[in-house]
């Protein structure tokens, strides 16, 4: 699979690079989303574009659950046209979509959020991504797309390619359209948002409860350790979070290896090597499929992630004989 498509949707975020450095193996970028899913969507033949059968979207809050069909959303909310200048699911091409505004949908569902809560997006195949309120940016607007305006004649969607397979983004695809800034100004901001397609569910969650074994209790929000937690669990790097594929204390994804127990990755790899590997894995391994992160992650972001990993080294959970957390 070409690198841009890998970066667009299945980029495992920076900790996958750390794990690869530690284990001496390359993760298969073509499988990152499918392996991260808790349940795999049924795929048809290699040339068919498959999609979930249900055209409904579930919104879950502390006060209850609401389910909206596509027809209900179109009746209740205005239809917007989203101009996406760099769509990560389509190799960075410009795309146009019809959909309903994310903020209007959340208001319709009665969503209210505390400063500690985040939005948790769940796709039909189990893929998950999170977004904090602090990620709001007036230059870009979230749209729950229900139609691809650039799809071939007679089709509602242009399929997303996954190796030999074609997958429809239907029924819903969260995209980030430009609201008025000059072309190119919003590409980085948009790529730091989640881009889940085949979107089926939106939840309001408190990461202190959802990721209780990962949360840096007692650490101030301006501390590098807390910023590193944000980068690992909350923030998007090309559309995904590290925790979608990696676990700490046996909590998180399972595509990449566990990074804290029984040994933390910083206990057997020095910080300079890890930071250099993150910036440019190709300088370490010829022919690697890992993208170059030079310019994609700042020096401070890398240092924050390493600070968080070092903090986690002192906050391990005990394991039972099977390797599960006790």
Q: What does the buried/exposed string (b/e) look like for 261-276 if buried means 16 or more CB atoms within 10 Å of the residue's CB? A: beebbbeebeeeebbe
- Do the beta carbons of residue 271 and residue 260 sit within 8 Å? no
Compute the CA torsion angle 151, 157, 162, 165 (nearest 10 deg). Answer: -100
Question: Which pLDDT score, from 0 to 100, does residue 179 have?
Answer: 66
Report whether pLDDT(200) > 50. Answer: yes
Q: Taking 50 as the threshold, does the pLDDT of residue 29 lie above it?
A: no
- pLDDT tens digits for range 217-250: 999 999 999 999 988 887 765 555 677 767 899 9
pLDDT (0 to 100) of residue 229: 92
Farthest-apart Cα atoms in the chain, separation? 57
Per-domain boundaries in the chain: 3-313
Q: What are the tens digits of pLDDT across the range 167-183?
A: 899 999 999 987 655 45
User: For position 146, what pLDDT does the model report?
Assistant: 96
Of 194, 215, 188, 211, residue with least CA distance to 121: 194
Angle at 192 between CA 50 and CA 248, to 5 degrees: 85
Angle between helical axes of 271-279 and 299-313 (0-180°, round to 10): 140
The chain-wide mean pLDDT, for the chain, equals 78
Mean pLDDT, residues 177-206 taken together: 77
Enter the pTM of the model: 0.71
Give residues with Cβ within 8 angstroms of 90, minimum separation 6: 8, 158, 160
pLDDT tens-digit readout, 32-77? 343 333 333 333 333 334 444 478 999 998 889 999 999 999 999 9
pLDDT per position as a tens digit, 264-293: 989 999 999 889 977 787 898 786 555 567
Q: Is the pLDDT of residue 121 over 50?
A: yes
């Amino acid at each position: 699979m070409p690198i841009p498509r890998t970066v667009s949707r299945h980029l495992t975020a920076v900790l996958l690079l750390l794990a690869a450095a530690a284990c001496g193996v390359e993760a298969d970028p073509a499988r990152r989303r499918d392996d991260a899913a808790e349940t795999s969507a049924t795929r048809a033949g290699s040339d068919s574009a498959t999609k979930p059968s249900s055209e409904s979207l579930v919104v879950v809050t502390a006060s209850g659950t609401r389910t909206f069909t596509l027809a209900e959303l179109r009746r209740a909310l205005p239809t917007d046209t989203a101009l996406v200048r760099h769509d990560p699911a389509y190799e960075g091409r410009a795309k146009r979509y019809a959909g309903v505004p994310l903020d209007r949908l959340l208001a319709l569902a009665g969503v209210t959020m505390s400063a500690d809560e985040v939005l948790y997006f769940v796709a039909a195949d189990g893929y998950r991504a999170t977004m904090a309120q602090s990620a709001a940016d007036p230059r870009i607007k979230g749209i729950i797309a229900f139609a691809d305006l650039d799809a071939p004649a007679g089709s509602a969607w242009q399929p997303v390619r996954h190796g030999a397979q074609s997958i429809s983004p239907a029924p819903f695809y969260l995209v980030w359209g430009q609201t008025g800034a000059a072309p190119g100004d919003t590409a980085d901001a948009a790529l730091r948002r989640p881009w889940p397609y085949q979107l089926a569910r939106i939840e309001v969650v408190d990461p202190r409860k959802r990721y209780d074994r990962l949360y840096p209790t007692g650490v101030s929000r301006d501390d590098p350790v807390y910023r590193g937690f944000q980068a690992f669990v909350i923030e998007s790097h090309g559309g995904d979070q590290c925790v979608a594929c990696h676990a700490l204390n046996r909590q998180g994804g399972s595509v990449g290896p566990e990074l804290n127990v029984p040994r933390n990755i910083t206990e057997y790899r020095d910080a300079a090597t890890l930071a250099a590997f993150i910036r440019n894995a190709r300088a370490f391994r010829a022919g690697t499929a890992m993208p170059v992160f030079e310019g994609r992650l700042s020096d401070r972001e890398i240092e924050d992630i390493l600070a968080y990993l070092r903090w986690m080294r002192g906050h391990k959970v005990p394991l039972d004989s099977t390797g599960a957390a006790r």
